[in-house]
A and B are shown apart, each in its own frame.
Chain A
Amino acid sequence: DTGVSQNPRHKITKRGQNVTFRCDPISEHNRLYWYRQTLGQGPEFLTYFQNEAQLEKSRLLSDRFSAERPKGSFSTLEIQRTEQGDSAMYLCASSTRQTDQPQHFGDGTRLSIL
Chain B
Amino acid sequence: TQLLEQSPQFLSIQEGENLTVYCNSSSVFSSLQWYRQEPGEGPVLLVTVVTGGEVKKLKRLTFQFGDARKDSSLHITAAQPGDTGLYLCAGVLFSYDKLIFGTGTRLQVFP
Binding site for B on A (CB under 8 A): 4, 6, 31, 33, 35, 40-45, 48, 55-56, 91, 93, 99-100, 102-108, 110
Contact = CB atoms under 8 A, between A and B. Distances in A.
A35 B92 CA distance: 14
A32 to B, nearest CB: 11
A107 B99 contact: no
A32 B59 CA distance: 30
Nearest to B42: A105
A107 B42 contact: yes
Contact of A42 (B40, B41, B45, B102): B102
Contacts of B97: 31, 48, 55-56
Contacts of B104: 40-42
B43 A105 contact: yes
Contacts of A40: 104
Interface string B26-44: 0000110101000011111
B52 to A, nearest CB: 13
Contacts, number: 60
- By Cβ-Cβ distance, the 3 closest A-B pairs, closest first, are A42-B101, A105-B42, A100-B31
Contacts of A91: 42-43
Interface residues of B, number: 24
Interface string B46-70: 0010100000000000000000000
B103 interface: yes
B109 interface: no
Most A CB atoms within 10 A — which of B43, B48, B104?
B43
B79 interface: no
A45 B98 contact: yes
Contact of B50 (A31, A44, A100): A100
B74 interface: no
A32 B39 CA distance: 23
A33 B99 CA distance: 9
